[in-house]
Amino acid sequence: MKLNSSNFMCLMMMLTTTTMSLMINNWLFMWILMEINLFMFMPLMSKNKINDQSIKYFIIQSFSSHLLMFSILMVSILMMPPKNSLIVMIALMMKTGMAPLHLWLPEIMNKMKWNECLMLASPLKIIPMILMSKFTSMKMVIIPMMLSLMMGCLSGLNQTCLKKMMAFSSIFNLAWMISSFMTSKKVMLLFMMIYTSLNFKIMMFFKKMNIQYMNQINQLELKKKIKINMMILSLSGLPPMMGFFPKWMILKEMVMKSNIMCFTMIMTSLISMFMYMQISSFTFSNLSMKKKMILENKMSSINLINLMYIPIMLIFWVN
């Protein structure tokens, strides 16, 4: 995706609508912003000449948008609180690719370029997640969140295609995103910044190196192998990496709300680490003993500080 004037305008509109959604509590305005986001993303997809995937994505998003609008009208007519509406929940689950309505997400992401995968994995989910956190109850969303955690980590274990693996990683982290939206705005902003930045670094690295499958990582030089390995481990939430601290803060809040959900998040995180460790195994599977001995000397101290110790300072900002 070349950043020409039309693409830049679409990206700026998506950024503007997403930022506005954080300051609005009205159902109708948020629905309009969500649809603007969709229509700004469609031209970016059509540049790929993958018309079938664009049509599939448009049909799924249009159906879920109409279902959401229908549910809003029904809630207004019946004078019932939106937090008790199952149709609202189903529409938002379909919008975000939340389990068990997630099957479309890996298939579509697999046919996209890395730029579009990045936008679909996190920024496009922000507005539906805000709606879900504000207008659905914890009791209704807890089962889909647990299903997303389990389906995301288990389905990603057998993947060798990196785009599909990142799609299942997105499904897994979707439960963490919604939990962050339900805790506090500071925790939510911290989690989204770290998760989106890690996704950006990883996917842009795969794009730059033209990597689609795990076995292609073996062709990289040692320094680049170490770099991608550190980013993947951080995304997995392995302490003391950067991705661990926002998840730890979310768990601190979730303990007060649901012990079962907290336990599920911990156990599935352990399973998901095996999914991310697959990349590590491919990364260092053919290294000689001599190269393994000089591994630490090749590591950049600046990268270590960024990935490990800077998040400790962010804890003081949140607290």
In the chain, what are the domain boundaries? 5-318
Quote the pLDDT of residue 299. Answer: 44
Quote the pLDDT of residue 297. Answer: 47
Angle at 225 between CA 221 and CA 231, to 5 degrees: 150
Higher local confidence (pLDDT), 35 or 314: 35
Query: In whole angstroms, what is the distance from residue 25 CA to residue 30 CA?
Result: 7
Residue 97: pLDDT over 80: yes
Quote the pLDDT of residue 1. Answer: 55
Quote the pLDDT of residue 54. Answer: 79
Higher local confidence (pLDDT), 24 or 84: 24
Q: pTM value? A: 0.82
Quote the pLDDT of residue 313. Answer: 45
Query: In whole angstroms, what is the distance from residue 84 CA to residue 56 CA?
Result: 30
Query: Which stretch of 27-36, 39-48, 135-144, 163-172 has the lowest confidence by average pLDDT?
Result: 39-48
Residue 164: pLDDT over 70: yes
300 confidence band (pLDDT: 50, 70, 90)? very low
Query: Which stretch of 76-90, 122-136, 137-151, 166-180 has the lowest confidence by average pLDDT?
Result: 76-90
Cβ-contact 152, 107 below 8 angstroms: no
Average pLDDT over residues 259-269: 87
Sequence-separated (6 or more) residues with CB below 8 Å from residue 9: none
Residue 78: pLDDT over 60: yes
Residue 310: pLDDT over 60: no
H-helix segments, 97-184: 104-110, 114-121, 126-135, 138-155, 162-183
**Number of Cβ within a 10 Å radius of residue 296:** 8
Quote the pLDDT of residue 309. Answer: 45
Quote the pLDDT of residue 3. Answer: 60
Quote the pLDDT of residue 312. Answer: 45
H-helix segments, 218-286: 222-236, 244-254, 259-284
Query: Which stretch of 57-71, 199-213, 296-310 has the lowest confidence by average pLDDT?
Result: 296-310
Three-class SS state of 249: helix
Give the whole-number percent of the chain exceeding pLDDT 70: 83
Angle at 243 between CA 105 and CA 310, to 5 degrees: 145
In this predicted model, what pLDDT tens digit does every residue of 174-216 receive, in sequence order? 988 888 887 777 888 888 888 888 999 999 999 888 888 888 8
Residue 315: pLDDT over 80: no
293 confidence band (pLDDT: 50, 70, 90)? very low
Q: Length of the chain, please?
A: 319
Query: Which stretch of 49-53, 77-81, 165-169 has the lowest confidence by average pLDDT?
Result: 49-53
Q: Quick one: tokens of 142?
A: 């807890």
